[in-house]
Amino acid sequence: MIAPEEVRSAVDAAYRDEWGQVVATLIGLTGDWDLAEDCAQDAFAAALATWARDGVPARPGAWLTTTARHQATDRLRRDTTGAAKVRQLAVLKRDPIGPSAEEIPDERLRLIFTCCHPALPFPARVALTLRTLAGLSTGEIAKAFLTPEPTMAQRLVRAKRKIVEAGIPYRVPPAEQLPQRLTAVLAVLYLVFNEGYDDEDGRRALAAEGIHLARVLVRIMPTEPEARGVLALMLLLEARRASRTSDGVLVTLENQDRSQWDRALIAEGLATLDEALAMRRSGPYQVQAAIAACHATAPDAAATDWTQIAALYAELTRLAPSPVVDLNRAVAIAMADGISAGLALVDELAESGKLDGYYLLPATRADLLRRDSRLAEAATAYEEALKLAPTDAERRYLTARLSGL
Amino acid sequence: MEQIAADPAHRAYEAELDRRGAGRGGARLRPVADATTVRVRDGEMLVSDGPFAETKDFIGGLDIIECADLDEAIELAARHPYASSGCIEVRPVWE
């Protein structure tokens, strides 16, 4: 017998590390997503009882997968429909011992690419990844996305139904499709992180979940530099989190208390980025991580290497063009080459209309005008930004700026 | 599918097609939720969920194809000449 709390923490740790792998393997065996989730759930419940009696197995993941597979066989035996019989055969004919973990490609790879298939609506990709790969409950996902639980449950049901009905294959895409499909996977992971990053407390868990999923991706795609790129970016942003707001007011990078930055996360982020860059295949996440690294390594705001950051934004525009990137580049150019050069780019963007309604356009303009001591124009731009700002923290920041002119 | 096959109205309609010898085959499409839309722009394939939604669009034709899975259907759709100017909607059928 082992102490109940010891078993509980072993099962919790296994849940965190092995849930995705167990579900992924069971989907591969049965082709049935609901059955896979149910059997994984059963296996973890069985672990609580059995591990308390027999001790924690040497390879918890293998124990859980075998137990879940037995559950699947039992359930399919009880089910007498034809489809179930066919699947039962598929489960049974597999070698019950199985090859060792090193010989088979990680099952989670097939799972993540299927969850993030572009034929699924984007919110469904996110929900399905969090449910099947990260093991969040439907209730937890619903809460994180401020969505009623029945709506989230329906989203998951529809996504799983589409996988079956539309014939989305359960596999890692072939080489020629891989770059595009990987982009979709990275977008889901980064969104999960960002949803939590922008929140002060309630949805913090999502940022941790995003980092966890990025770590999984690095493990299962060790030669893919963008997997490391997205992880490095998340770590470097996460390192600054504590200093991003003060009493509910947004604190800009320039004014953040850098002593609050998490040095361990920065070190890990930089090391991860270095590993990615060593593979010599650039990508948008690596470039964004490199920009975050410039900020993370500047001892103070004045020492920021804006010339380097402007060059990185130019590279990002080439790799992944977007008006938001252009806006960021304009700021970097203002800081590197002078306010008027940056303002000219911001005005160009404003005229293009591509960022109409985006509060950071007038907010950026206001900030540059303020630095250029054009205070009346700055005030007008801050007022414009205030009308568009989406959160209280941002509104409070803009109000403070406006009254400080 | 069985329900439709047993439905008297559908049976009468199919009998009428047979009587006239007018039937040339067909298929019942699965719901739009199962649709996927494929476009090719500047040589890059763009895949999105759902049917094409622009109301000013119109359907110009249809092909019935047999594929191993959705990825093969998407790949074939992207090869259609119209994929690079309009778009190709992939809709599974009931079997």
**Number of C-alpha atoms within 13 angstroms, CB side, residue A346?**
24
Q: If pLDDT is split at 50, 70 and 90, which confidence band does A76 have?
A: confident
Closest-CA distance, B71 to chain A, in angstroms, reads: 7
Is B30's CB within 8 Å of A166's CB?
A: yes
Per-residue pLDDT tens for A190-238? 999 988 886 666 677 889 999 999 999 999 899 999 999 999 999 999 9
Q: Which of B28, B30, B38, B49 to mutate to test the interface with A (most CBs of A within 10 A)?
A: B49
How many whole angstroms separate alpha carbon A237 and alpha carbon A231?
A: 10
| In the predicted structure, residue A104 carries a pLDDT above the cut 60 | no
| In the predicted structure, residue A94 carries a pLDDT above the cut 60 | no
- Least confidently predicted of A11-15, A68-72, A165-169, B55-59: B55-59
Name the residue among A212, A233, A225 with its Cα closest to residue A108. A212
| In the predicted structure, residue A96 carries a pLDDT above the cut 50 | no
Cβ–Cβ < 8 Å for B35, A167: no
Contacts A166 to B, Cβ<8 Å: 30, 34-36, 70, 90, 92
| In the predicted structure, residue A93 carries a pLDDT above the cut 70 | no
For residue A11 the two structure tokens come to 């099962």
| In the predicted structure, residue A337 carries a pLDDT above the cut 50 | yes
Q: If pLDDT is split at 50, 70 and 90, which confidence band does A347 have?
A: very high
How many whole angstroms separate alpha carbon A209 and alpha carbon A129?
A: 11
The confidence score (pLDDT) of residue A88 equals 65
Is B33's CB within 8 Å of A162's CB?
A: yes
Average pLDDT over residues A45-73: 94
How many whole angstroms separate alpha carbon B3 and alpha carbon B11?
A: 11
A125-A223-A40 Cα angle (round to 5): 45
Q: Considering chain A, what percentage of its residues have pLDDT values greater than 90?
A: 78
For residue A98 the two structure tokens come to 């199985």
Helix (H, G, I), strand (E, B) or coil at A95: coil
Q: Is the pTM of this model over 0.80?
A: yes
The confidence score (pLDDT) of residue B80 equals 95
| In the predicted structure, residue A66 carries a pLDDT above the cut 70 | yes
Per-residue pLDDT tens for A364-384? 999 999 999 999 999 999 999
| In the predicted structure, residue A305 carries a pLDDT above the cut 70 | yes
Contacts B34 to A, Cβ<8 Å: 161-162, 165-166
> Could you give the strand order of the β-sheet that contains B36-41, starting from the edge strand earlier in sequence?
B44-49, B36-41, B88-90
| In the predicted structure, residue A103 carries a pLDDT above the cut 60 | no
- Is A157 an 8 Å CB contact of chain B? no
How many whole angstroms separate alpha carbon A167 and alpha carbon B18?
A: 32
The confidence score (pLDDT) of residue A246 equals 85
Average pLDDT over residues A297-306: 95
| In the predicted structure, residue A89 carries a pLDDT above the cut 70 | no
The confidence score (pLDDT) of residue A159 equals 96
Q: If pLDDT is split at 50, 70 and 90, which confidence band does A102 have?
A: very low
Q: If pLDDT is split at 50, 70 and 90, which confidence band does A86 have?
A: low
Cβ within 8 Å of B, A 178-237: 180
Q: Considering chain A, what percentage of its residues have pLDDT values greater than 70?
A: 92
Per-residue pLDDT tens for A155-189? 999 999 999 999 999 999 988 889 889 999 999 99
Per-residue pLDDT tens for A263-284? 999 999 999 999 999 999 999 9
Per-10-residue mean pLDDT of chain B, 95 residues long, equals 79 93 89 92 90 74 93 95 92 89
In whole numbers, what is the pLDDT of chain A averaged over residues? 91
Torsion (CA) A272, A275, A277, A281 in degrees, nearest 10? -110
How many whole angstroms separate alpha carbon A305 and alpha carbon A279?
A: 24
Long-range pairs of A369-374 with CB within 8 A, sequence gap ≥ 24: A369/A343, A370/A401, A370/A405, A371/A334, A371/A339, A372/A339, A372/A340, A372/A343
| In the predicted structure, residue A97 carries a pLDDT above the cut 60 | no
Contacts of A183 (CB under 8 A, 6+ apart): none
The confidence score (pLDDT) of residue B60 equals 84
How many whole angstroms separate alpha carbon A386 and alpha carbon A380?
A: 10
The confidence score (pLDDT) of residue A46 equals 96
| In the predicted structure, residue A73 carries a pLDDT above the cut 50 | yes
Is B71's CB within 8 Å of A121's CB?
A: no
- Is A121 an 8 Å CB contact of chain B? yes
Contacts A175 to B, Cβ<8 Å: none
